[in-house]
Amino acid sequence: MTSDFVAYSPDYWALFLEFWRFEDANAVWVMVGSILLGISASVIGGFAFLRKRSLMGDALAHAALPGVMTAFILFHAHTPLLMFFGALISSFLGLFLMDWIPKHTKIKPDAAMAITLSFFFALGLMELSYIQGMEVAGKSGLDKILFGQAAAMLPSDIYLLSAVALVVLLTVAVFFQKFRLIAFNRTYAQSLGLNIAFYELVLALLIVMSVVIGLQIVGVVLMAAVLLTPVAAARFWGHSLSVMLLTAGFIGGLSGLFSANISYMAPAMPTGPWMVVVLSLVFAVSFLFAPQRGLISSVLKQRRLRRQVCDENVLRTLYVLNERHPANSHHAQNALALDLPFAEEDILALRTMPLAELKETLARMKKLGWLTATDTVRAVALSPEGVERAVALTRRHRLWENYLTEQLDLTPDRVHSQAEQIEHLLTDEETRALERELQSDQKGSLKDPHGRRIPAVQVASEQKGAES
For position 467, what pLDDT does the model report? 43
Q: What is the pLDDT of residues 314-370, one digit of tens each?
A: 999 999 999 888 888 776 666 788 889 999 999 999 888 999 999 999 999 999 999
Tell if the pTM clears 0.85, that is, is over it.
Answer: no
Q: Mean pLDDT over residues 412-439, rounded?
A: 83
**CATH class of the 21-289 domain in this structure:** mainly alpha
Do 70 and 91 contact (CB within 8 A), yes or no? no
Q: Who has greater pLDDT, 32 or 146?
A: 32
**How far are the Cα atoms of 137, 214, 250, 251, 325 from residue 20, in angstroms, in the given order?**
36, 24, 19, 19, 77
pLDDT exceeds 80 at position 440: no
pLDDT exceeds 50 at position 288: yes
Please provide the average confidence, as pLDDT, over all residues in the chain. 85
Residues of each domain in the chain carrying CATH 1.10.10.10: 302-327+335-441
For position 443, what pLDDT does the model report? 47
| DSSP E strand boundaries for 315-378 | 342-343, 371-373
**Which of 97-111, 142-156, 158-172, 196-210 is predicted least confidently?**
142-156
pLDDT exceeds 50 at position 468: no
**How far are the Cα atoms of 36, 113, 344, 374 from residue 33, in angstroms, in the given order?**
5, 29, 68, 73
Q: Mean pLDDT over residues 101-121, rounded?
A: 90
d(CA 61, CA 404): 55
Topology (CATH level 3) of domain 302-327+335-441: Arc Repressor Mutant, subunit A (1.10.10)
Percent of residues, the chain, with pLDDT higher than 70: 92
Give the phi and the psi of residue 433 in degrees, each rounded to 5.
-65, -35
Residues of each domain in the chain carrying CATH 1.10.3470.10: 21-289
Residue 420's pLDDT band, with cuts at 50, 70 and 90, is confident
Give the phi and the psi of residue 373 in degrees, each rounded to 5.
-75, 150
d(CA 287, CA 414): 39
pLDDT exceeds 60 at position 92: yes
Do 229 and 254 contact (CB within 8 A), yes or no? no
